[in-house]
């Protein structure tokens, strides 16, 4: 592509080619007759520039005058024709950088530190911190998960653009490192990664302990889930405290304010209620002590306390407190042991 050079309508006499040639020949003859003149000329500064600081606009004008009057679009065309800006070349450079950073993680870490915050040339004044690179321990866990799933997406089997997805987001753990365990990780492609993000509703001031396993479509609001607890699919927990090593099956509903001790088993479809007269806004939460067992489909009415090691049969409706190490069944539930 040819670039048209701007030609001014008026040309100063000293800018005419024949005059410039005469001046050049005269200067060359003077330097040849007196060699010291050339050396002194190199050392001294022009009197018009001596001791002066010019503005950026003036320096740009001087630079343009030294290079000649060029087309204002010439620089833009030069940038467009730069081979480094072509898509194919840019992708090739990106691949080379990725391979190098995979072999030399310390170089990537160093570059990340250099470009962090205001040191980053692309930084636009935001306050959001640049995410730090994963630790060596996280990389080891991630590689183990990829091997476990044969480097394939758990949903569709694709082998490209895979991510190690946290089933329970790291932000809900008291220590974010506690989220990096195998039961809380699954390998997904980017398409299904977005789908899995919407499978759980964990909101509010929820705190989750290490080793907790949550299955699909679980809703947890403002609750505390202690270590090594399992929560089945389609379960809803609101404003409650769950102890350690509990096993909560699917389709369980735990109402506001309930307190569940350690090593408790709750069967599928169980209901823990907290309001005797719906709409009264008088909450009487259920309390369950350590080691209690609730059968599938059981209903625990508001204000009931289940003692330590007590057993509630499947389908029972518990209307009164249950003593420790006793078994109750029926509707209403009665003691049989």
- What is the chain's length? 337
Calpha distance 328→314 (Å, rounded)? 10
Domain residue ranges in the chain: 136-197, 200-337
What topology does CATH give the domain 200-337? UDP N-Acetylglucosamine Acyltransferase; domain 1 (2.160.10)
pLDDT at 236: 92
Q: What is the pLDDT of residue 5?
A: 47
Write down the pLDDT at residue 314.
Answer: 92
Q: Is residue 193 annotated as part of the catalytic site, yes or no?
A: no
Q: Given this model, what pLDDT does residue 127 score?
A: 47
pLDDT tens for residues 191-201? 888 778 777 77
What rounded mean pLDDT belongs to the chain? 79
**What is the spatial distance between Cα 75 and Cα 58, in angstroms, rounded to a whole number?**
19
Decide: pTM greater than 0.75. no
Supply the pLDDT for residue 90: 78
Amino acid 293: pLDDT: 94
> For residue 269, what pLDDT is reported?
93
Residues 317, 333 contacting (CB under 8 angstroms): yes
What pLDDT sits at residue 307? 92
Low-confidence stretches of the chain (pLDDT < 70) are 1-15, 38-54, 59-80, 84-85, 115-135, 337
- Residue 14's pLDDT is 67
Q: Which of 12, 46, 66, 277 is catalytic?
A: 277
């Amino acid at each position: 592509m040819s670039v048209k050079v701007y030609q001014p309508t008026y040309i100063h006499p000293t800018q005419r080619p024949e005059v410039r040639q005469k001046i050049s020949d005269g200067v060359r003859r003077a330097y040849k007759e007196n060699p010291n003149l050339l050396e002194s000329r190199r050392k001294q500064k022009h009197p018009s520039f001596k001791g002066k600081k010019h503005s950026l606009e003036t320096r740009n004008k001087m630079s343009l005058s030294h290079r000649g009057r060029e087309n204002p679009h010439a620089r833009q065309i030069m940038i467009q024709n730069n081979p480094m800006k072509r898509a194919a070349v840019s992708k090739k450079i990106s691949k080379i950088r990725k391979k190098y950073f995979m072999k030399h993680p310390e170089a990537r870490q160093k570059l990340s530190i250099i470009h962090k915050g205001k040191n980053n040339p692309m930084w636009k004044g935001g306050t959001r911190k640049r995410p730090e690179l994963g630790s060596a321990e996280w990389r080891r866990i991630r590689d183990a998960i990829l091997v476990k799933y044969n480097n394939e997406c758990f949903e569709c089997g694709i082998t490209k653009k895979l991510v190690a997805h946290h089933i329970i987001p790291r932000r809900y753990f008291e220590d974010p490192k506690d989220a990096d365990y195998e039961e809380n990780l699954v390998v997904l492609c980017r398409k299904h990664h977005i789908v899995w993000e919407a499978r759980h509703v964990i909101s509010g001031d929820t705190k989750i302990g290490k080793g907790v396993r949550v299955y699909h479509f679980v809703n947890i609001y403002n609750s505390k889930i202690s270590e090594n607890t399992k929560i089945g699919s389609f379960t809803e927990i609101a404003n409650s405290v769950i102890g350690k090593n509990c096993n909560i099956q699917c389709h369980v509903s735990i109402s506001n304010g309930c307190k569940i001790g350690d090593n408790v088993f709750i069967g599928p479809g169980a209901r823990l209620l907290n309001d005797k007269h719906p709409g009264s806004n008088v909450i009487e939460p259920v309390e369950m002590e350590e080691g209690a067992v609730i059968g599938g489909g059981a209903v625990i009415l508001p204000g009931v306390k289940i003692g330590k090691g007590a057993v509630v049969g499947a389908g029972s409706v518990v209307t009164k407190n249950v003593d420790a190490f006793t078994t109750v069944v029926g509707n209403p539930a009665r003691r049989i042991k």
